[in-house]
Amino acid sequence: MRHTERQALNHDQPRSMRFEEVRAARRAMLDLPHIRPLAEFAADIRLRHGVEVPEFDPLDGGVGASMLFLFEKPGPMTSDVKTGRTGSGFISRDNDDPTAEATHHFMKAAGIPRAETITWNVVPGWNGTRKITADELREGVAEVERLVTLLPRLRVVVLVGKKAGRAAPLLRSSGLLLFESAHPSPLVRASRPDAWTSIPKIWAKAAEAC
């Protein structure tokens, strides 16, 4: 195991991406065999669409993942552009924000091994707003279909949040098992506590189906 890989594995903690040394260690892992094809996939989207697309987290399962967690759209803490707090440049459960922190804890509560998961967004690019247009959704699902071809062990897709759930009709022909859960954001926790507490239970059922 490379030194950089060992270092990053020691930082498998909520909000650890707030530290530059952790972000640097993850960037150094992007050339590892399990993540390189996905880094190339993200780079291709950046080039074709001209949007800011975060990297996949190398601590996740990469191309060996059996479960794909599709969130809605990247948020500001996935961005590494220096505006206010520095984001990580990754879509990661270790990002420095409450949604990522909740995701980290819910994954553990559901008993899902990190190596079995990969996290992505139905709309892959951050463009300064969380709004999702119909065109963005359609184009995003096309990119998800491309992503699936890179994941030979994939069995389950979990659509996380109402906006992600809009992609369900477009993914039903994939042959993959689809699950839907609430989004682990502070807004859902405050407004829909029952939906919030159900998240790890739904994720655990998805893992069982896998």
The pLDDT tens digits of the residues spanning 21-78 come to 999 999 999 999 999 999 999 999 999 988 889 999 999 999 999 999 999 998 766 7
The pLDDT score that the predictor gives to residue 3 is 43
- For the stretch 196-207, pLDDT in tens is 999 999 999 999
The pLDDT score that the predictor gives to residue 10 is 64
* Span 71-125, pLDDT tens digits: 999 876 676 655 555 689 999 999 999 999 999 999 999 999 999 999 999 999 8
Residue given tokens 């996935």 in the structure block: 78
Sign of the torsion formed by the C-alpha atoms of 148, 204, 72 and 95? negative
∠ CA 154-155-159, rounded to 5°: 95
Place of tokens 């950046």: 46
Q: Going by DSSP bridges, is the β-strand pair 67-71/156-160 parallel, antiparallel, or unpaired?
A: parallel
Q: Is the pLDDT of residue 194 over 70?
A: yes
Cβ contact 30:36 at 8 Å:
yes
**154 and 176 Cβ atoms separated by less than 8 Å:** yes
Q: pLDDT tens digits, residue range 137-183?
A: 889 999 999 999 999 999 999 999 998 998 998 888 889 999 999 99
